[in-house]
Amino acid sequence: MCGPITKEDKDLAAEFIYLTLLLEHMESDMELFNKIPVKLNDPYVTFMDSIIKVVLKDLVLIKRKMKEKQIKVLDPVNVNEDFMQYEYYVRGYNTVFRFFKPVLKNRVSDRAEKYFIGNKK
C-alpha cells in the first residue's frame, strides 16, 4: 500500500487545477472572440480551437493518472477576495491547496504560454 500523499500526487492534482482553469478561460475567451468583429476571424478561431483540443487531450491524460492513483479534486471554494481553496483526496487522505489568486493566475498564464508559444526552456 502506498503511503500518504507524495509530491507526485500533489503535483498531479495541482496540474489538474491549472489546466481546468486554463480550459475554462480559453473557452470563455473563444465565446467573446466569436462576438467581436475581426477581419481575419477564421485563423484565430482555428488556432484557439486547436489549442483547446490539446489542452483537453492533456487533461484527459491527467484525469486518467488521477483515477489510477485514486486522486480526487473537489470544486474550488472562494475563501475571500485574495484566496481560492481546493480540497483534494489521495487514497483516503484529505488535504487542501490554498492559492493566492494572483499566483494562481500566473501559474495558469504560464501553462497558456507553453501551449501558445511552446516551452521556452
In the three-class reduction of DSSP (H, G, I as helix; E, B as strand; rest coil), residue 40 is classed as coil
Cell reading at 62 = 491527467
pLDDT digits (tens, 9 = 90+) for 75-109: 999 999 999 999 999 999 999 999 999 999 999 99
pLDDT digits (tens, 9 = 90+) for 8-60: 999 999 999 999 999 999 999 888 888 888 787 888 888 999 999 999 999 99
**Dihedral, CA of residue 94, residue 98, residue 103 and residue 108, to nearest 10:** 40
CA distance 84 to 104: 9
CA distance 93 to 109: 30
Amino acid at 49: D
Are 49 and 2 in contact, with CB atoms under 8 Å apart?
no
